[in-house]
Amino acid sequence: MNQDRIKILAETPVRKAILVMSLPVVMGMMVQVFYNLADTFFIGRLGDTNQLAAANISLPVFIFSMAMAGIIGTGAASYISRALGEKNNKEADKTLTIGMIYLIIISIVATAFTLLFLDKLVSILGASKETFPFAHAYVLVLVWGILPIMSNFALGQLLRAEGDAMGSMFGMLIGTVTNILLDPLFIFIFSLGVGGAALATVLANIASLLFYILRYRRGKTLLHFSLKEFSFDKKISKEIFTIGIPASLGQGLMSVALIVMNNIAASYGDSVVAGLGVASRIITIGTFIFMGIGAGSQPLVGYNYGARNFSRVKSIILNGIGLTTAIGLVLGILMWIFAYPFISTFTSVDKVISYGITVLRALVLSLPIMGGQMLCTISVQAMGKVLPSLFLSISRQGLLFIPLLLLLNLLFGFNGFIYAQPITDAIMLILSFSILQRILKKEEINH
């Protein structure tokens, strides 16, 4: 089985390899979409705009947790893929162990720090007087679940780094099914409202995490976790953090961008916040498909870059961009045409539906270009290029999206800031592709 995984990374025709590596991840990501939409659907059944808005306001906390997990997940995964490409399985094993210990330490520190400033955090997130108690209840539960949320996210990435896309998918599937079963139980039967949705989310992450741990313990993986392998290895630590931190900065800044967006939306009323939240969750159908293709392609790029097979690396990237563009066009057209049924599935409040449709039709303009720029950025990370990776991670959210949010809102109000995302993605596609092309050209000259 392990040799079959290596064969996929090194020899399988590119289009087939992308599909083999990406489809299980995409399926898992679709499961993750249902996971997110389930919360929105069941909270929407409460008919309470404030609770629906509170769930959207709290989303940056979840994203920030994944960003911190991405320091280890992306950093260690990048080095593991390259180590496997160089036939250095021992180094890959050691990277897995060191990465998991670092992950636990980061999780504990993050939990303690967030609990200390919880009330202030909820206010910063953009909670109004009406939404504050609901957002506080949601965030409090999420904070206590930071350890399993982060560990679950990182282990899924680490499994994919060694080519175990199916194992990663099954873990996500278990979590989603758990979430969908627990949501109505906690929200309606136990009358916990939006706090019940958060509890279901945490327990679902615990279920996925237990599956991943058992998979490693039962020897169904190429790599193995062992405390005997742990040491503060300077080289491995540098590899993890020099790639992981720039990559996680992108997600961390995404969390900041969402806070800015929610605060802008809150200035127009809680109905706008709720509509923005529903539209943003729906657009994750496309976002998560692209993330799945990117995540499936990352070990392919990392392995073949480590093996110095640059023609295969370029083919993987170009085929991936073509695939995500085609999918984005189809999804964009469907979401534009059927915006009303999409939004009204999650809320019956007319004002929320109206705002949600407007936002969704703005966001779908990103879909044909979002996947390509994601794939280019992930490829730079997979090749271990620290400074370009850092620049791209900072650019999308920090240098482009947040300033555009503020500028377009200032100039055009509500009808301006909702177009900040597609404009950002268009610029980032050009920028990331140009940087990636320059890196590969330089590598081929030096090879």
Per-domain boundaries in the chain: 2-446
pLDDT for residue 288: 86
- Torsion of the alpha carbons at 27, 32, 36 and 41, rounded to the nearest 10: 40
pLDDT, position 197: 94
CA angle 430, 74, 21 (to 5 degrees): 80
Q: What is the DSSP letter of 34?
A: H
pLDDT tens digits, one per residue of 17-76: 888 888 877 886 787 777 778 888 899 888 899 999 998 888 889 888 988 998 998 889
Beta carbons of 249 and 389 less than 8 angstroms apart: no
Q: How many CB atoms lie within 10 A of CB 235?
A: 11
pLDDT at 5: 65
Mean pLDDT of 319-332: 95
Res. 309 pLDDT band, cuts 50 70 90: confident
Token digits of residue 143: 């904070």
CB of 282 closer than 8 Å to CB of 361:
no
SS3 402: helix
State yes or no: pLDDT of 1 exceeds 50: no
**Between these two residues, 326 and 156, which has the higher pLDDT value?**
326
**Residues 142-185: pLDDT tens digits?**
999 999 999 999 998 898 878 787 888 888 889 888 998 999 99
Helices 350-363 and 270-306 pack at an angle, to 10 degrees, of 30
In this structure, the number of other CB atoms found within 10 A of the CB of residue 429 comes to: 22
The sign of the dihedral angle between the CA atoms of 113, 114, 116, 121 is positive
Average pLDDT, the chain: 89
